[in-house]
Structure 1
Amino acid sequence: MQVSETYKSGFVALIGRPNVGKSTLMNHFLDEKISIMSDKPQTTRNQIRGVLTSDEGQIIFLDTPGIHKPKSRLGDFMVRTAQDTFNEVDLILFLVDAEEGLGGGDRYIIESLKKVSTPVFLVLNKIDRVHPEKLLPLIDQYRALMEFQEIIPISALQGSNTGSLKELILHLLPTGPQYYPSDQMTDHPEQFIVSELVREKVLRLTHEEIPHSVAVVVDEMSKRKGKDLIFIRCTIFTERKTQKGILIGKQGALLKEVGLQARTEIERLLGSRVFLDLWVKAKKDWRNEVNMLKQFGYRDE
């Protein structure tokens, strides 16, 4: 793509409490699943980069973990990952849940945002679930706490007003180079996205404490010679043997369903048939072990 002198480019952080729709918004902009989604809190653990390229500019979105009160070293890492982006980007999109309204978590984030010089857009998501008459009073509540560069109501799920949001982002970003090739949508390796897709299916199919106690590692990913087939072996780690048994399920039924659902999306991602081999191991209290966090890709520095 030929980049003009008016070409815009920059980095935009998506921040907010867990489950406000950060991943949904990024996936909507990219029209591709780069960041996994779930109705379970704290789904996103790492910083996920998604690249949106157009003739007008290139927006690099940073989908960050939901900011919450951490209860483990993993939680500390997640919150620090989100907060570290505040001064490293050109723009912050502070997403809030319009249906839930202003809460203590939002107030905590706002106090942190007051300390940075980066421009902040307040993005009220899930407006499809709120009566229009309730939006203006809600906006006034947030505006009373902090001055925002822009305030934009949207529905990331339905795509309502997201076009206007994109235009406002491009208008604010500086002129600059195209950082990534036009056809690249993320800077994460395929192995990372594969492991996240497997973890997403675990989140979707399990309940109670299991979703937060799971990590997925891709042990092998190789193309079989002479075949249009990619072999992938993953290990799903849990914290207790009882969780391992629940995740495997009666006669392996739950693990099989995780594999079936994950394989469908992985094949779409890779454009090839996939043989997905899943194993489950129990590793006691891994969320508080520094070495395990590093092994699973969660740096604890």
Structure 2
Amino acid sequence: MTDKETKFHSGFAALLGRPNVGKSTLMNALLGEKISIVSAHAQTTRNKITGVWNGDNAQVVFLDTPGMHKPQSKLGEAIRQSTMDALDEVDMIVFLCAVNDPLGAGDRYILSLLKDRKVPVILALSKTDLISKEEVLKKIVQYSKIYPFAEIIPLSAKTGENLDELMKCVVKYMPEGPKYFPDDMVTDQPERNIVQEIVREKLLTRTRDEVPHAIGVYTEEFSERENGKVYIRCTIYVERDSQKRIIIGKKGSVLKAAGQEAREEIQNLIGAPVFLDLWVKVTKDWKNKDYILRELGYKEHK
């Protein structure tokens, strides 16, 4: 058992990057399971979603952090602080950038927050399927000049290119350690948290840019009934009556369609028939109300 290959390695890795660069898509691809919500909207992921990757002699626990940006509300500050807290818990950081996006102030802002961190930072350049190899090489040179990355790996979550290489690299930096979670556990998120993320994803997908950051979803009840069905009631917070009308849609069409899609996905997740009860509530400026943020699971930060 002295050979390094036979020793077990485990640890925590944070996925970090600007909003909408594909962190949730990447983690879902690495794990082969959908545990992080994906939509065309920036700031889709609001909570740290823990995903567990198991290899032959290693286990990596991923924290899918919210996209970093300068906060404009108490919700924004809670999201930013959630990310900063996550960075204190990890053994390494995977910094994700989309190769088809220009290197901008947002990337430099995040890298400035990493300067005093002692853990290795891997640069994952995603969406390589969208540009030529020559352009990818130019991006690698560009990024290598602004930060001392431990490794730089171009990849595509869509095609699967270099996902194995990324995991080999992540495992290489994991310390020797125990198995934190059983092999069949993909995430430590409570089911009710995943439910509200699924509902929010379906609404965001259907409302496009009309209510980009105005939706908050809270699971009020999650209980099994005598008939074997699981009853789930969720409150959907919006800030204005006009947003409520958009969420509900003409004759309830939007809410009904989103609810049906969410119900089917939740049923597959929990393996039981589901009755999903959705209610839309207008609460002006809810993103700055402490009691709602606590309800949605955010810590208070003074």
TM-score interval, smaller chain: over 0.9
Query: 1: CA distance between counterparts of 2:85 and 2:147?
Result: 20
Query: 2: CA distance between counterparts of 1:298 and 1:258?
Result: 25
Q: 2:92 is matched with which residue?
A: 91
Matches within 5 A, 1:126-205: 126-205=127-206
Contact 2:6–2:57 (8 Å) recurs in 1: no
Q: Structure 2 counterpart of 1:89, which letter?
A: V
Report the alpha carbon displacement of residue 272 of structure 1 after superposing the two structures with TM. Answer: 1.2
Q: 1:273 is matched with which residue?
A: 273
Report the alpha carbon displacement of residue 209 of structure 1 after superposing the two structures with TM. Answer: 4.5
Residue 286 of structure 2 corresponds to residue 293 of structure 1: no
After superposition, the C-alpha distances for 1:201-252 in whole angstroms (9 at most, x for unaligned) are 0110013351311111111111221x34211111111111111111111111
Contact 1:22–1:63 (8 Å) recurs in 2: yes
Query: 2: CA distance between counterparts of 1:23 and 1:207?
Result: 18
Report the alpha carbon displacement of residue 5 of structure 1 after superposing the two structures with TM. Answer: 5.8
Residue 38 of structure 2 corresponds to residue 37 of structure 1: yes
Query: 2: CA distance between counterparts of 1:134 and 1:5?
Result: 39
Q: Give the alignment's TM-score, normalised by structure 1.
A: 0.96
The alignment yields a C-alpha RMSD, in angstroms, of 1.3
Q: Structure 2 counterpart of 1:279, which letter?
A: W
Query: 1: CA distance between counterparts of 2:248 and 2:272?
Result: 26
Runs of 4 or more above 3 Å deviation: none
Contact 1:86–1:118 (8 Å) recurs in 2: no
Matches within 5 A, 1:43-122: 43-122=44-123
Q: Which runs of 5+ in 1 are unaligned?
A: none
Report the alpha carbon displacement of residue 155 of structure 1 after superposing the two structures with TM. Answer: 0.5
Contact 2:14–2:90 (8 Å) recurs in 1: yes
Change (3 A) 1:209 1:74: farther
- SS of the residue aligned with 1:220? strand
Query: 2: CA distance between counterparts of 1:296 and 1:188?
Result: 13
Q: Structure 2 counterpart of 1:138, which letter?
A: K
After superposition, the C-alpha distances for 1:24-82 in whole angstroms (9 at most, x for unaligned) are 11111111111101110000111111111222211100000000122111111111211
Query: 2: CA distance between counterparts of 1:218 and 1:113?
Result: 34
Q: 2:264 is matched with which residue?
A: 264
- SS of the residue aligned with 1:269? helix
Q: Structure 2 counterpart of 1:101, which letter?
A: P
Q: 2:207 is matched with which residue?
A: 206
Q: Aligned residue pairs: how many?
A: 297
Contact 2:16–2:93 (8 Å) recurs in 1: yes
- SS of the residue aligned with 1:52? strand
Query: 1: CA distance between counterparts of 2:208 and 2:129?
Result: 27
Q: Structure 1 counterpart of 2:49, which letter?
A: I
Q: Structure 1 counterpart of 2:86, which letter?
A: T
Q: 1:245 is matched with which residue?
A: 245
Q: Structure 1 counterpart of 2:117, which letter?
A: V
Q: Structure 2 counterpart of 1:15, which letter?
A: L
Question: Is the deviation greater in 190-199 or in 164-173?
Answer: 164-173
Contact 1:155–1:161 (8 Å) recurs in 2: yes
Q: Give the alignment's TM-score, normalised by structure 2.
A: 0.95
Query: 2: CA distance between counterparts of 1:10 and 1:150?
Result: 18
Contact 1:5–1:175 (8 Å) recurs in 2: no
Query: 2: CA distance between counterparts of 1:105 and 1:182?
Result: 37
Q: Which runs of 5+ in 2 are unaligned?
A: none
Q: Structure 2 counterpart of 1:290, which letter?
A: D
Q: Structure 2 counterpart of 1:277, which letter?
A: D
- SS of the residue aligned with 1:59? strand
Query: 2: CA distance between counterparts of 1:209 and 1:230?
Result: 31
Report the alpha carbon displacement of residue 87 of structure 1 after superposing the two structures with TM. Answer: 3.2
Q: Structure 2 counterpart of 1:296, which letter?
A: L
Query: 2: CA distance between counterparts of 1:214 and 1:197?
Result: 12
Report the alpha carbon displacement of residue 95 of structure 1 after superposing the two structures with TM. Answer: 0.2
Query: 2: CA distance between counterparts of 1:54 and 1:81?
Result: 28
